[in-house]
Amino acid sequence: MLALVLPGPQRDLGLHRLQAKLSCSPQRVNVTVRPGLAMAVNGSTEPCAQLLISSIGVVGTAEDNRGHSARFFEFLTRELNLGQDRIIIRFFPVEPWQIGKKGTVMTFL
């Protein structure tokens, strides 16, 4: 799951391109955009973004997340016109039994 938190008005971010950065099936990706939240990054309330990524088997190692981070930072700095110091990315690896879908958990799907 991707959750992008942006202060200010919602923008067309090309979310399908954002999903593609994880290189996994679109059926397994959810994107949530929450515009208009009051946020502070690095002690400043200037425009900023926080990207939360939870995934089964896609995020987890420092090496994997370094590559994901580079691709997301390139995308977000370009699309949102933000400096890298105004963007925070948090990675949350999860197990299949921790995600419920279709009345069961991902372990059984």
Torsion angles phi and psi, residue 93, rounded to 5: -70, 140
Element (H, E) at 48: none
Q: Which residue has the higher pLDDT, 60 or 1?
A: 60
What total number of domains does the chain contain?
Answer: 1
Q: Which residues constitute the domain of residue 103?
A: 2-108
Give residue for tokens 């994997």.
64
- Summarised one tens digit per residue, pLDDT across range 72-97 is 899 889 888 999 999 999 998 889 99
CATH (domain of 92): 3.30.429.10
For 24-73, write each residue's pLDDT tens digit: 666 666 777 777 788 899 999 998 888 888 888 888 889 989 998 998 89
